[in-house]
Amino acid sequence: MTTNDQTMAHHSVMKTETGGRQLRMTVYASLLAALTAAGAYMAIPIGPVPIVLQNLFIFLSGLLLGWRWGLATVGVYLLAGAAGLPVFAGGLGGIGRIVGPTGGYLIGYLPAVFLIGWISAKGKGKAIFDVLAMIIGTAVIYAMGVSWLKVLTGMTWGKALAVGMLPFLIGDALKIAAAVPIAKALRPIVNKAD
C-alpha cells in the first residue's frame, strides 16, 4: 500500500468515525428531546406554573451531550412544541404556550442547557461541577421564567416568586441530586468510542 493509499484509508476511517459519532449524538439528542416531552406529561398543576419532570431531562441534556448537542435537544423540543405537538406541560403545544405565562421557563431552557453543558465540560464531569452547573442553569430558568410570569400577569415580584419559584425549589434540588448519579452512569455509554 502506498503512502497515498494509506492517507486515503486513514481519511476514510476518520470520516466514518465522525459520521458515526454524529449519528449517535443525533440519536441521543432526539431521545432526550422525547424524554423532555414525556417529562412534561408528568405534571402536577399547582397554579400558573405546574410541577414537571422536564428540568431533569434538560439537566441531563447538558451534562451528557454538552452545550452544542444540549442546545440541539432543547431546540428540537421547543420547535416541536411551537409547531403544535403536545410536548409541553399538560400535553399541550402551540406557540401560545411559549408566549404564555410559562414561556419564560421554556425559553430559559436554552441558556440553561448551554451553561450546564459548558460548565460541566470545564469541570471534566466532576460531580461538584455538575451540581454547580445545574444550580446555575436552574437559576437562569427561574430568572427568565419568574420575570416573564411577572410581566405577563402583572403580579408583584413577591407574588411571582411565590407562585413561580418557591414551590419548585425542593423538587428541583431533588432533580439535581438525581441527575448526578444518572449522568455518572450514562456518560461512559454516551462517550464510548470518542
Average pLDDT over residues 13-19: 57
For the chain, domain boundaries: 3-190
pLDDT tier for residue 3 given thresholds of 50, 70 and 90: low
Confidence of residue 48 (pLDDT cuts 50, 70, 90): confident
- Averaged pLDDT for residues 168-187: 94
Between CA 132 and CA 148 the distance in angstroms is 24
Kindly state the average pLDDT of the residues 143-159.
96
- Angstrom CA distances, 154 to 101, 148, 151, stand at 11, 10, 5
Give the pLDDT confidence of 22-31 residue by residue, as tens digits.
999 999 999 9
Predicted confidence (pLDDT) per residue in 64-102, tens digit: 999 999 999 999 999 999 999 999 988 889 999 999 998
Does residue 126 carry a pLDDT above 50? yes
> Which carries the bigger pLDDT value, residue 50 or residue 20?
20
Phi, psi for 42 (deg, rounded to 5): -85, 70
Q: Which three cell numbers stand for residue 39?
A: 417529562
**Contact status, residue 51 vs residue 171, Cβ threshold 8 Å:** yes
Residue with the three cell numbers 411559549: 98
CB 147 within 8 A of CB 165: no
Alpha carbons 79 and 95: distance in angstroms, whole number:
9
Question: Above pLDDT 70, what percent of the chain?
Answer: 90
Contact 134, 179 (CB under 8 A): yes
Q: How far apart, in whole angstroms, are the C-alpha atoms of residue 25 and residue 111?
A: 20
Cα–Cα distance, 74 to 36 (Å, whole number) = 8
Q: What architecture does CATH give domain 3-190?
A: Orthogonal Bundle (1.10)
